[in-house]
Every structure is written in structure tokens, then in C-alpha cells.
Amino acid sequence: MSTDAPSDRSEDPADPAPTGPEVGDDEAMGLALAEAATAAGHGDVPVGAVALHRGRVIASRHNERELRGDPAAHAELLVLSDAAAALGTWRLAEVTVVVTLEPCPMCAGGLVAARVRRLVFGAADPKAGACGSLYNLCADPRLNHEVEIAAGLRADEASLLLKEFFGGRR
Ligand SMILES: [Zn+2]
């Protein structure tokens, strides 16, 4: 029998804090915009999202609703799942979510449920936005958690991607 014990190699699961450079909101939005462009590549509405934990990127996703045929596969919910997996907890109290488009009611609900600390979004969504446009689920004192919001970051770039996508389909 082999006495090799490769399982002894120490990886510290107690400290899931990601390493890597800290990025600011603007740079994170750049990554989210690149994710959004990827979504358009497979016929999905171009929306991208990035999760930051203490300023470091821990997850980066885009809308996959058409790709998966899944109504819940919005960029924000996918990035919340990845962030939770990366940190080993559903409670994302130290996480900032950066997304190109104002979250819909489903995703705003997800941000609240995950106890996300802060939301940064690009373009407002007057037709479905639930973080200030139609509703503000992130700042409703009746709910058990509020998410800090910064709106409008690089909104023109996010809007342009959406306009190109919908324009190209007509
Ligand atoms: Zn959504």
C-alpha cells in the first residue's frame, strides 16, 4: 500500500478571502460591460454583473436566459450564486454587486435575500427596474435588509450595448 498522503497538502478552507488586485467601481463596471457583450454573442440581452468582496473580483457573469432557457438565469442571480460558492456562505454582507443594468424585481429580491452590502448599476431600466425606477426593493424599510445603491455608472456604455442588441434584431 502506498503511504503517500497527498491529502495532507494544506489548503486553508477557513480563509476564503480572494486574492488578487483590488479594483474600483469603474474598473469593475468595465468587466461587467465585457460580460454583457458576451451575452449578446449568444443571443441574450446584454447584461453583465461582477461581484466584489472587499474590492476584489470573486465572480463575473452575464445573462444566460436564452442560452439556458432559464427564466432565473439573469446575470445578477448567477453572480450571487458564484459569489456564495466562492465565499462558502449565502450571506454576502461584504459583497458589492456591479451590474450594467438596473436589476429587475427578481434580482433586486435576490440582492436583499443575500444581504448584499452595496449595488452599483449602470443604465436605469424604466420598464423593469426595481432599484429606483418602478420600485426600490433595495431601500424599503419594510424589508429586513437594505442595499446601498450607486446608480448611473458608465450608463451610456451599458445603454449603447442594449440599443445595438435590440436595434440589430429588428
Ligand atoms: Zn433580473
Confidence (pLDDT) at 19: 72
Regions of the chain with pLDDT less than 70: 1-18, 169-170
Strand segments, DSSP code E, in 13-89 are: 48-53, 56-62
Q: What is the pTM of this model?
A: 0.88
What distance, in Å, lies between the first and last C-alpha atoms of the chain? 67
- What's the CA-to-centroid distance between 111 and ligand 1, angstroms? 10
- Cβ neighbours of 159 (radius 10 Å): 15
Confidence (pLDDT) at 128: 97
- What's the CA-to-centroid distance between 159 and ligand 1, angstroms? 16
The catalytic residue positions are 76
Distance CA 140, CA 98 (A): 20
- What's the CA-to-centroid distance between 168 and ligand 1, angstroms? 22
Strand (E) or helix (H) holding 151: strand 148-151
Which pLDDT tens digit goes with each residue over 60-83? 999 999 999 999 999 999 999 999
The average confidence (pLDDT) of the chain is 91
* Residue 9 β-bridge partners: none
* Residue 151 β-bridge partners: 121
- What's the CA-to-centroid distance between 169 and ligand 1, angstroms? 21
Q: Which of helix, strand or coil describes residue 69?
A: coil
- What's the CA-to-centroid distance between 117 and ligand 1, angstroms? 18
- What's the CA-to-centroid distance between 60 and ligand 1, angstroms? 15
Confidence (pLDDT) at 20: 80
Per-position b or e across 111-147, b if 16+ CB within 10 A of its CB: bbebbbbbbbbbbbbeebbbbbeeeebbbeeeeeeeb
Confidence (pLDDT) at 169: 64
Distance CA 152, CA 161 (A): 15
